[in-house]
Amino acid sequence: MAETYELQTSVVIDAPASKIFDTMLDLNKFDAWNPFPLMDPTSVGTVTQTKPGVGSVYEYQGKRLGKGRQIVTEAVKPHLIVSEMTFLNRKPEVTRVEYRIEQQTVGTLVTWYMSGTRSFGQRVMVKLLNLDKMMGNHFAQGLDRLKDYVEAAK
């Protein structure tokens, strides 16, 4: 029986929400802050978009990371970007990824959120390998890279 799961990590960035939104929506800029290629130097990402927004696609393939696809399905400027992430392994897994962007009194709170369902076997594997903690660390690394990237572009 499948169960739902949720993961999320946040960071405060010293930049306006609209600037962060525009950076995150442009998949051509994704690898500037994407933490996953750092794990797999063989990975190659490709972007298909006529302009940043709904329908934009980021695909990747690497020896360690495997193969996957992220499709932007919703964009509400400057607050929310939603994507469908498909991990194209032996048995494809689809998750929902959200980038939630909230202007604060000082800075902007950015949250990387992911949710989906896991089978019993997947839950056992996640628990044994502590994969949720590892994924949270990757999200935090990516948000720190995004923070550096956006704040450096002032």
DSSP β-bridge partners for residue 70:
58, 85
Chain-centroid distance, C-alpha 59: 12
Q: Decide: 21 and 107 in contact? Cβ < 8 Å.
A: no
Instruction: Indicate whether 123 pLDDT > 80.
Output: no
d(CA 27, CA 51): 9
Of all residues in the chain, the percent with pLDDT exceeding 90 is 71
pTM: 0.91
pLDDT digits (tens, 9 = 90+) for 78-115: 999 999 999 998 778 899 999 999 999 999 999 999 99
Rounded mean pLDDT of 63-82?
96
Helix and strand counts by DSSP (H, E) for the chain: 4, 7
- 62 is written with which tokens? 């690497």
